[in-house]
Amino acid sequence: MFRSAVHSTVRTSPIHSPLLLRNSAQRSLRARPLFTSTASSAKKGSKNITGLIAGLSGLALLASVLPTRKSVHNEAVRSPPSKVSPSAAADPEGKLISMDTVAEYNRLPSDGGKGLWVAIKGQVYDVTEFVDDHPGGRNIILKNAGKDVTELYEPIHPPNALQDNLDPSKHIGQVDPATIQIRQADEETEKDRKRRIARENLPSLGSVLNLDDFERIAESILTDQAWAYYSSAADDEVTKAQNRAAFQRIVFRPRILRAIGDVDSSVKLINSKGNGYTSSLPLYISPAAMAKLGHPDGELNLTRGAGKADIIQGISANASVGLDDMLDNRKPGQLIIYQLYVNKDRAASERILKKVEERGVNAIMLTVDAPVMGKRERDMRTKGEEVELGVDHGKDVKAKGGGVAQAISGYIDPNLTWDDIRWFRKTCKLPLYLKGIQSVEDVELAVKHGVEGVVLSNHGGRSLEYSPAALDVLVELRQKRPDLFDKIEVFMDGGVRRGTDVLKAVALGAKAVGLGRPFLYAQSGYGEAGVTRAIQILEDEIHRGMRLLGVTSVDQLTPEMIDILPRQFFPMPPKAD
């Protein structure tokens, strides 16, 4: 939750809970405007205000990712605040705006107020016209208008989010640093103390033997909010559990007395019918958002780790690191797939498609299984009162907020159809993979519409509860339409935790297998080194499994090497507290 002080800046971190706060006033003195207001830009008005979804959606997200203190003490003002008039505040000559002036803009004009302003990184922005478009609900903006939200906004947003998405006319001016208060937080809570001790005493990477070890470590060091976002799934989380259970229904039929001294786990992916691209392993890092909730370097850890291992990284559309930063950190020739959620504003999607094509991204992974967000209750509970019916200055309103996922997803077009494949083809020439296929019939339609690949997936159990496990769809596809594997590339994700899981999926016909949560957990504790270790664990398990199966290359993994046990429905997992 945002702090209650009107003009103070608290330095916190989604990873640590420091007692002393940094000197925000000094940082504000050094702050540079993200863009400069000009007379010409002012004429543009707010035509791009809906584009803020990719940038200012964090005002709801911020409330859910950082620890909350019960009180604030030891406040000190460097010098008496001095007001400037609103006209002077917007003066392009550079007059400073006091936080007292910002605080006056905390109510909508329809409620008798002057409007809604916020201060971010020493700059003041007008978000009045954005309030009803905010994907996390209007309440969180109304509650925090008139405040400095830098320390809540900054940790989980790309550095260029405002610059790319907010019309320059909405930049009001620079904050007078002399009016920013500095304060200390309370002593750390018992939960914060346990997290700090756990992070200070992380097990050595060499002692981490499997991906579940990374998950247990992450649970001990992440904030409740970050853990809920990473680990939560829809409703009772039955589908999430079934994703893993599905792999227990597949058993191997090993062959013996074969020369297995040397194994080659490399595969050709993306347009593999042509030249394709070589991946060292038949796996990839699935697009996974908000990596900075776990580690300051966020998705850069995933980019660097994938590059070192020569596997594909899927870049999330909702990444907490800027797209350019990730692409600048890839090594030459590194395979990148960009995940696209189609924006209600198609022009915004067209701009990003043009950009990733120009930057040399290898393919587009169009997410089709989340036209609306699933009901992720553990994530929603971290929003507290924002999930319930709120009060908008005395008026009852229904909050749109629903946790971190809701806060970053409100821009998604819920009316996407198969006909939009034509729109994509006109906009972008990159290979297209549909992520979120959950039936054989939709694989058939994907082939009919000429897409290059499909990703069998139920969004990690985070969308529709009781949707089929991706592995079960893969089995059904193999049984009913084995011919389609020669017409389209089939990827899958969901529930993969072992190298043997990868081998089972490949034997059924999958070209590559994606993992998301395990890499978020690995980088949360150990950064890039954790990602590298996770890939090494999977590589060892894949190579060891291939040798024990009696195969030396991926193309030798065939349906004859597995048996499928009768499908059972496993008990519902216990309810989370």
Q: What stretch(es) of the chain map to CATH 3.20.20.70? A: 211-381+401-564
Q: Is the per-residue pLDDT at 357 higher than 70? A: yes
Q: Is the per-residue pLDDT at 129 higher than 50? A: yes
Could you tell me the pLDDT band of residue 383, with boundaries at 50, 70 and 90? Answer: low
Q: What pLDDT score was predicted for residue 207? A: 98
Q: Is the per-residue pLDDT at 67 higher than 50? A: no
State pLDDT tens for residues 410-436: 678 899 999 999 999 999 999 999 999
Spatial contact of 151 and 17, defined as CB atoms under 8 Å apart: no
16 catalytic residue (yes or no): no
**Which one is catalytic: 341, 411, 433, 526?**
341
Q: In the structure encoding, which two tokens stand for residue 237, read together? A: 């989380």
Q: Name the nearest CA neighbour of 452 among 419, 417, 480, 490.
A: 490
> Which range among 311-320, 341-350, 380-389, 545-554 shows the weakest confidence by mean pLDDT?
380-389
> Which range among 3-7, 83-87, 312-316, 382-386 shows the weakest confidence by mean pLDDT?
3-7
Q: What pLDDT score was predicted for residue 142? A: 82
Q: Is the per-residue pLDDT at 7 higher than 50? A: no
341 catalytic residue (yes or no): yes
Q: Name the nearest CA neighbour of 536 among 277, 208, 263.
A: 208
Q: What pLDDT score was predicted for residue 255? A: 97
Average pLDDT over residues 350-357: 96
Indicate the CATH number of 99-179 among 3.40.47.10, 3.40.1110.10, 3.40.1440.10, 3.10.120.10. 3.10.120.10
Q: Is the dihedral of CA 422, 423, 425, 426 positive or negative?
A: positive
Q: What pLDDT score was predicted for residue 374? A: 86
Average pLDDT over residues 521-546: 98
**Which one is catalytic: 7, 295, 459, 543?**
459
369 catalytic residue (yes or no): yes
Going from the C-alpha of 557 to that of each of 122, 276, 500, 563, the distances in angstroms are 58, 20, 12, 13
Instruction: Give percent of the chain above pLDDT 90.
Output: 61
Could you tell me the pLDDT band of residue 38, with boundaries at 50, 70 and 90? Answer: very low
Q: What pLDDT score was predicted for residue 382? A: 78
Is residue 110 exposed (0-12), middle (13-18) or buried (19+ Cβ within 10 Å)?
exposed
Rounded CA-CA distance 468/461 in Å is 9
Could you tell me the pLDDT band of residue 120, with boundaries at 50, 70 and 90? Answer: confident
Q: What stretch(es) of the chain map to CATH 3.10.120.10? A: 99-179
Q: Name the nearest CA neighbour of 280 among 524, 508, 502, 507.
A: 502
**Which one is catalytic: 133, 369, 379, 442?**
369
Rounded CA-CA distance 372/464 in Å is 10
Could you tell me the pLDDT band of residue 562, with boundaries at 50, 70 and 90? Answer: very high
Q: What pLDDT score was predicted for residue 55? A: 44
Mean pLDDT of the chain: 81
Average pLDDT over residues 79-94: 42
Going from the C-alpha of 137 to that of each of 52, 156, 398, the distances in angstroms are 13, 18, 8
Q: What pLDDT score was predicted for residue 273? A: 63
Better pLDDT: 84 or 204: 204
Q: In the structure encoding, which two tokens stand for residue 147, read together? A: 């405040």
> Which range among 216-220, 226-230, 253-257, 303-307 shows the weakest confidence by mean pLDDT?
226-230
Better pLDDT: 73 or 363: 363
Residue 521: enclosing H or E segment and its boundaries?
helix 517-549
Average pLDDT over residues 516-545: 98
Going from the C-alpha of 467 to that of each of 197, 249, 375, the distances in angstroms are 39, 17, 14
Q: Is the per-residue pLDDT at 572 higher than 80? A: no
Query: What is the CB-side half-sphere exposure of residue 265 using CA atoms within 13 A?
Result: 26
Superfamily of domain 211-381+401-564: Aldolase class I (3.20.20.70)
Q: What pLDDT score was predicted for residue 571? A: 57
Better pLDDT: 477 or 411: 477
